[in-house]
Structure 1
């Protein structure tokens, strides 16, 4: 097939998705980019678009992967190609879809973002003298409890001041424990550290000034239990006020807790129990974070790891 014929086929298909399927202009633009790449690959292989075979597509996928394109990016390209050839099949121009059984390589699971120990300490020790002292005490207790116990934000907002038949979770300062209701309605008990206890005691001394009848541990100005969204916003604001380069979200504190405990103890099973993970495989992602920490320390400290200086 001549290049002009390939161009005509692509233009007809783009007209089909633009008018017949009424796809958004940006989606049509992305399809066009995918098909430009397909035409380039086919031209380099010396075949027209109607002559592309399954083996060609597999080789192109391997080349894209080898060049560093992510599995997700390749999957999006394949989706565009697959739709083009499905359309050609419906028009009777090809006998089979060469992209039909081709899958993109799996992308590695992204590592959770965790704070360094220094950044975590900076956030925990931040004090805003200009803030309302009641809200300042509450937000300090939120940070200490989330970072000190590795709680999910849903577990945190579900905590009550005291145990009751209706309570999803509660704290017991005398026993230095938080009783939480995690995923799958599974209960677990997490120890509360000394710093978190001190922060909670400071907050509980001021809490009656806000709380009316709500049993929630953390309440807002109106005396009602804080929502997960409110925790997100307050934590983001506090992390920026503390001078951290990256806004902190609740799950980042949970990741930081897990990573730092694992770095100190090396006990993966204990971290699994503290986080409430049903499967150890979920917790094993933190071993990758821990290895990154060790690798960075090695690169910085070991004389044989440092690059030779040019001179």
Structure 2
């Protein structure tokens, strides 16, 4: 995707969803009924996306990552429903509960179950919007709560682990590791960085990051010296026509590379994944500064409550206050 495509993406999203939303109501209803009858996943997603954009809280500002996640959730539900004999327009009341129990038993994390459930709910909200059905099979369905505290769900990588990863990383992998572990970038933010987002020669080197869930909104993020050095080492390897900083185009590609790097370096990936590197940045910032606001600013949290998890990470391993009493 070029920088021109990035600018046009919200316009294209609004345009294609408006085409569906402006259909004659009966034509829209028939389209939805046919999609359910034919198990047409692509059209079911188009209808769900149109409803999310026209009736959702974020409207056309909904992030590409959110849409990608919801689309995957719709596809996963259809993949379960058809073999299970679910009639999409006339589901039985118990089938909503059956689906969420299936998700829980499949080994998914509670947060992933909730995301899949939200996607299925969104699809049925869209079908009701089209007047294709009055069914609401997920109305009273709730996913089981995660008994773990937030800081127990995904651990940060230690400084030693990061050094091991860097020792085995190729130049592009070094850039990705350091942008996450030193600068706190998310997976989706890594693949979105353009060369023009880099400001390496400023008095305070930084890069511009597209804000999570806010189309068109960008935030400045400071970069460490070793991140700057890794980027400068990597840039000459990029084709002159390539606008992105990384050649990896999808979040899955990032996950696959970091997983492979962890395996080569003998570093645990499970329970930390790519996002654990961002936790490394937040935890180290709080440990070195003792300032939760500093950690909040680096990670670009809107609310300090999201940053409190890093205080818990930093306190791990500390001697209990009453140990020497």
What TM-score, normalized to structure 1?
0.53
Greater relative CO (CA pairs within 8 A, separation 6+):
2
Deviation, structure 1 residue 21: 5.9
Equivalenced residue count is 188
Please give the alpha-carbon distance, in whole angstroms, between the structure 1 residues aligned to 2:265 and 2:179: 17
Match of 1:264 among 288, 292, 297: 288
Structure 2 residue 166 is matched with structure 1 residue 124: yes
Give, in whole Å, the separation in 2 of the partners of 1:267 and 1:201: 30
1:201 aligns with 2:232: yes
Structure 2 CA distance for partners of 1:293 and 1:121, relative to 1, 3 Å: farther
**3-state DSSP of counterpart to 1:205:** helix
**Given the alignment, which residue of 257, 272, 279 partners 1:234?**
257
Larger Rg: 1
Determine if the alignment matches structure 1 residue 109 to structure 2 residue 136.
no
Checking the alignment, whether the CA contact within 8 Å between 2:182 and 2:280 is kept in structure 1 is no
**1:77-226 equivalent positions in 2, closer than 5 A:** 107=147, 109-111=149-151, 112-127=154-169, 136-162=170-196, 170-175=197-202, 176-185=205-214, 186-208=217-239, 213-220=241-248, 226=249
Q: Do the aligned partners of residues 172 and 21 (structure 1) sit closer, same or farther apart at CA in structure 2, a change above 3 Å counting?
A: closer
Whole-Å separation in 1 of the counterparts to 2:178 and 2:145: 41
Distance 1:152 1:244 in 2: 20
Match of 1:243 in 2: 266
Q: Is the partner of 2:182 in helix, strand or coil?
A: helix
- 1:218–1:21 Cα change, 3 Å: closer
SS of 1:183 mapped into structure 2: coil
Note closer, same or farther for the CA distance 1:106–1:114 as it changes in structure 2 (3 Å cut).
Answer: closer
Structure 1 equivalent of residue 27 of structure 2: none
Q: Normalized against structure 2, the TM-score is what?
A: 0.51
Distance 1:234 1:304, change over 3 A: same
Using the TM superposition, give the Cα deviation of residue 147 of structure 1 relative to its aligned residue in structure 2, in angstroms: 1.0
Task: Quickly say closer, same or farther: Cα 1:202–1:183, change in 2 above 3 A.
Answer: same
Alpha-carbon spacing, 1:110–1:202, altered in 2? closer, same or farther (3 Å): same
* Alpha-carbon offset, residue 259 of structure 1: 0.7
Partner of 1:95: none
Alpha-carbon distance, 1:105 to partner:
9.0
Residue deviations 1:285-308, cap 9 Å, x none?
A: 11111111424xx69xx9849xxx
Q: Partners of 2:252 and 2:145 in 1: how far apart?
A: 35
Q: Find the partner of 1:283 among 289, 292, 307.
A: 307
Cα separation, 2, equivalents of 1:189 and 1:234: 26
Deviation at 1:120, TM superposition (A): 2.0
Q: Deviations over 1:253-275 (max 9, x none)?
A: 00111011111111100111111
Structure 2: give runs of 5+ residues left out of the alignment.
1-92, 105-109, 111-143
- Cα distance in 1 for partners of 2:166, 2:295 equals 21
